[in-house]
Structure 1
Amino acid sequence: MAMGHTYFGRLDMDALHDTDVVWEGTAQLGDAQVEARLWAGPSAQPSAEELDDLAARLTDLPALDAAARTALRAYLHEDRSFIDFHVDELEDSGTAARLVREAAGADVGPDAFVAAMRLTGIGLWPTGRSEGRPPVVLDYTFEPDLGDQILAVRATRAGAVASVDWES
């Protein structure tokens, strides 16, 4: 089935035999362009309403990023493991060294750490592809050139943050 959408354009899902990317683009966040991918599969096609909601998350990315960063700070206030891992393991990180210096003998705080993180990718997983989880996944990294660890922030179609998960 092929369908058209005002934001995503023509989505050709006729040849899908498995879950695959049906649209790739970017979303603007400040001065940065963030890669975004829309996934679909043969058994569950997104509705026009769902695509509208997902497009709204990309067009209002600054608001979603602000909510995600609030959730990241709360997550890291509760569990410092992600911060400690990066500060301890990334010896070549100029950013980690700067954060340690600025902490002046104290632990690197979640606020400073989250401010240094970058949104590196957005996955859009419509109904049927998201396996019962929220369909918007924002991948935040710290020094992506030095490690593959991410904090994935999952959000609903409406943009409410549902969870933060440490992944690699």
Structure 2
Amino acid sequence: MTTIEHARFGLLEPGALRDTDVLWQGTAQLPDGEVEVRLWAGPSSAPDAEELDALAARLTDLPALDAAARDALRRYLREDRYFIDFHVDELGDSETVDRLVREAAGEEVGADAFVAAMRLSSVGLWLSGLSDEPPVVLDYTFEPDLGDQILAVRATRAGAVASVAWES
């Protein structure tokens, strides 16, 4: 069975997987708390030290990646505010929505305020060969206890934001 030892992820056994699954699970630190992280692999995944180092660097630089992702989220929501409107309409009983509406003072809830209220709920790291998409996925939620809608921000191994997508 193939194993690899990595400073951040520890002892990994990708050869033990029969399907795409979580190979490692842990947390990463942001100034406002910890974020859950999962490293995904498949049965044919054979990560090398360079790939693992690049993915680990995204966790070390998570505050900078979070800032870049939030910039992308603001641009996305300025172009299409349906995600904001959906949450304001659907979560009328939410204290956060009440606060955002009150602070908007009769105007629409803005992208800046909405993104500031969103939380990074998890980070997915995908080993090469599992997808043609960029391998780092940051899932942002708004009121996760009240809904399952997320904005997923994809980033490259180098940490460049590539896309934003609405998922549930």
Could you say what the CA RMSD is over the residues aligned between the two structures, in angstroms? 0.7
Q: TM-score, normalised by structure 2?
A: 0.98
Q: How many residues align?
A: 167
In the alignment, the residues of structure 2 paired with residue 152 and residue 46 of structure 1 have an alpha-carbon distance, to the nearest angstrom, of 24
**Structure 1 outlier segments of 4+, above 6 Å:** none
Query: Aligned AA for 2:94?
Result: S
* Percent identity for Structure 1 against Structure 2: 75
Q: Which runs of 5+ in 1 are unaligned?
A: none
> For residues 16 and 159 of structure 2, what CA distance do their matches in structure 1 show?
30
Tell me the residue number matched to 1:152.
152
Find the counterpart in structure 2 of residue 49 from structure 1: 50
- Rounded to whole Å, the distance in 2 between the matches of 1:27 and 1:142 is 20
Residue 92 of structure 1: how far off its partner (Å): 2.0
Query: Which structure 2 residue ranges, 5 or more long, are not aligned?
Result: none
Q: How far is the alpha carbon of 1:126 from its aligned partner?
A: 1.3
* Contact in 1 for aligned 2:15/2:45 (Cα 8 Å): no
Tell me if structure 1 keeps the 8 A contact 2:24–2:38: yes
Q: Does 1:30 align with 2:34?
A: no
Question: In structure 1, what is the equivalent of residue 92 of structure 2?
Answer: 91
The code of the aligned residue for 1:164 comes to: V
2:111 alignment partner AA:
P
**What letter corresponds to residue 124 of structure 1 in structure 2?**
L
- Classify the secondary structure of the residue corresponding to 1:14: helix
Whole-angstrom CA distance in 2 between matches of 1:127 and 1:92: 42
Q: What does residue range 13-162 of structure 1 map to in structure 2 within 5 Å?
A: 13-129=14-130, 131-162=131-162
Q: 1 CA distance for matches of 2:46 and 2:20?
A: 11
Cα distance in 2, alignment partners of residues 49 and 12 from structure 1: 17
**How far apart are 1:14 and its partner, in Å?**
2.5
Matched AA of 1:128: G
Given residue 16 of structure 1, which amino acid in structure 2 is its aligned partner? L
